[in-house]
């Protein structure tokens, strides 16, 4: 394969360093097995960076990320920094990083794991064959529109402006089609076009972009209907694409299909192939330092990096398959063990080692 791909590794706080360590080990195994070459450079971010550099996102970390092909992040935050002022909170680093790196979409795949059917909030027959990805717009919509708050004789009045530019819709919808082309070739565009003008623009743009992808099916779905379908017929979805707030809500809803927050990876993408990869879960301060965190979400995030930033599809599939196999064989970190269940309990390091063996 071509020149070494550069990965900025930002372990962060809490369980971040423990789970990222396993991901780097697994990526070393991928190098060996698939003959590709990865170069890892470490940077600090979050609470640890506040303590050592006075800011959650030091300039050298930002520069490091900009020089790399992808970023692998653990998690940031924890009780030690909760009382800090908003501008120097650990979480601030993520928003800033996404903005500086021009990342406008957030991808959250949700898949079913054999052997974990009983962990899901839904019946096994409903989650069977679930394999979907929610593509959420990240930089526009009601979160970033103008906000007002005024006093009137009738009491206070507040407003949030939901605004989308055509180009913002176009780039995210196009990304969804690109992803769908490499999957089951179906895009569900989720909106509220019966009520919102921004949704009517969204629909129009989605139709236009779909012309360029004749082999991908586009369907439109109202967000309220979609919320129901996700729990009733989740296996019918392939790629869902939607605006910022709908995506926020639907991706959390879809997350419960899997069974544990320790299993959910994510990617934030922009133009080109650069991406930031991190588990959906936080820094889990309650279990940090104990070596028992589930590294699966981070390993699956690393697999997404191989797929979306490096185009190493075979290697990406191998990592995903290995994680699934380890779980299917009955190995469980504590978060996956239900009371009364007899399973083979493993810690973070052992789980990583099993995945490496599987690859």
> How far apart are CB 247 and ligand ATP at their closest, in Å?
17
Q: Which residue is nearest to ligand ATP (CB)?
A: 282
What span, in angstroms and rounded, lies between the C-alpha atoms of 120 and 136? 23
Q: Which residues are annotated as a binding site for substrate?
A: 98, 108, 136, 224
Site residues, ligand ATP (CB under 6 A) = 15, 77, 261-262, 281-284, 286-287, 293-294, 297, 335
> How far apart are CB 91 and ligand ATP at their closest, in Å?
7
Catalytic residue among 13, 191, 238, 248: 248
Q: In terms of C-beta density within 10 A (0-12 exposed, 13-18 middle, 19 or more buried), how is residue 96 classed?
A: middle
List CB contacts of 207: < 8 A, sequence separation 6 or more.
218
Judge whether 248 counts as a catalytic residue.
yes
Catalytic residue among 51, 114, 129, 252: 252
The token duo for 82 is 């909760």
Q: Which residues are annotated as a binding site for NAD(+)?
A: 78-91, 282-294
Catalytic residue among 143, 160, 186, 347: 143
By C-beta, is 287 or 315 nearer to ligand ATP? 287
List CB contacts of 268: < 8 A, sequence separation 6 or more.
98, 101, 103, 105, 106, 107, 138, 275, 276, 277, 278
> How far apart are CB 278 and ligand ATP at their closest, in Å?
11
Q: What is the largest CA-CA distance in the chain?
A: 71
Q: What is the DSSP letter of 302?
A: H
Please, are residues 284 and 15 in contact by the beta-carbon 8 Å criterion?
yes
The token duo for 348 is 């973070």
The token duo for 296 is 């699966």
By C-beta, is 242 or 283 nearer to ligand ATP? 283
By C-beta, is 68 or 109 nearer to ligand ATP? 109
Please, are residues 51 and 12 in contact by the beta-carbon 8 Å criterion?
no
The rounded Cα 144 to chain-centroid distance in angstroms is: 20
> How far apart are CB 286 and ligand ATP at their closest, in Å?
5
Q: Which residues are annotated as a binding site?
A: 78-91, 98, 108, 136, 224, 248, 252, 282-294
Catalytic residue among 51, 114, 129, 224: 224
Judge whether 114 counts as a catalytic residue.
no
By C-beta, is 241 or 336 nearer to ligand ATP? 336
Judge whether 143 counts as a catalytic residue.
yes
> How far apart are CB 284 and ligand ATP at their closest, in Å?
4
Q: Which residues are annotated as a binding site for Mg(2+)?
A: 224, 248, 252
What span, in angstroms and rounded, lies between the C-alpha atoms of 42 and 298? 16
By C-beta, is 82 or 166 nearer to ligand ATP? 82
Q: Which residues are catalytic?
A: 143, 192, 224, 248, 252
């Amino acid at each position: 394969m071509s020149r070494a791909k550069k990965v900025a590794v930002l372990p962060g706080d809490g369980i971040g360093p423990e789970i990222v360590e396993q991901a780097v080990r697994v990526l070393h195994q991928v190098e060996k097995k698939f003959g590709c070459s990865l170069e890892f450079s470490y940077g600090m971010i979050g609470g640890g960076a506040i303590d050592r550099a006075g800011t959650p996102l030091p300039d050298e970390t930002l520069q490091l990320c900009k020089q790399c092909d992808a970023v692998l992040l653990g998690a940031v935050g924890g009780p030690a920094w909760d009382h800090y002022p908003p501008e120097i909170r650990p979480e601030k680093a993520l928003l800033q990083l996404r903005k500086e790196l021009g990342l406008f979409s957030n991808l959250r795949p949700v898949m079913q794991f054999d052997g974990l059917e009983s962990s899901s909030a839904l019946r096994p027959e409903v989650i069977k064959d679930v394999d979907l990805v929610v593509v959420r717009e990240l930089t526009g919509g009601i979160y970033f529109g103008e906000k007002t708050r005024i006093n009137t004789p009738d009491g206070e009045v507040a407003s949030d402006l939901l605004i989308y530019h055509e180009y913002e819709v176009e780039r995210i919808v196009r990304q969804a089609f690109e992803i769908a082309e490499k999957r089951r070739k179906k895009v569900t565009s989720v909106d509220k076009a019966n009520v919102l003008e921004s949704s009517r623009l969204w629909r129009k743009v989605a139709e236009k972009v779909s012309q360029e992808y004749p082999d991908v099916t586009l369907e439109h779905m109202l967000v309220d209907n979609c919320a129901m379908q996700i729990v009733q017929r989740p296996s019918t979805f392939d790629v869902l694409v939607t605006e910022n707030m709908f995506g926020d809500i639907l991706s959390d809803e879809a997350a419960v299909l899997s069974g544990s927050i320790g299993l959910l990876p994510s990617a934030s993408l922009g133009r080109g192939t650069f991406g930031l990869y991190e588990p959906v879960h936080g820094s889990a301060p309650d279990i940090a330092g104990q070596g028992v965190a589930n590294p699966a979400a981070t390993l699956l995030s690393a697999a997404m990096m191989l797929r979306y930033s490096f185009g190493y599809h075979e290697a990406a599939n191998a990592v995903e398959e290995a994680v699934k196999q380890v779980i299917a064989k009955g190995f469980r970190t504590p978060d996956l063990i239900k009371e009364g269940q007899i399973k083979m309990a493993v810690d973070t390091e052992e789980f990583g080692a099993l995945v490496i063996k599987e690859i």
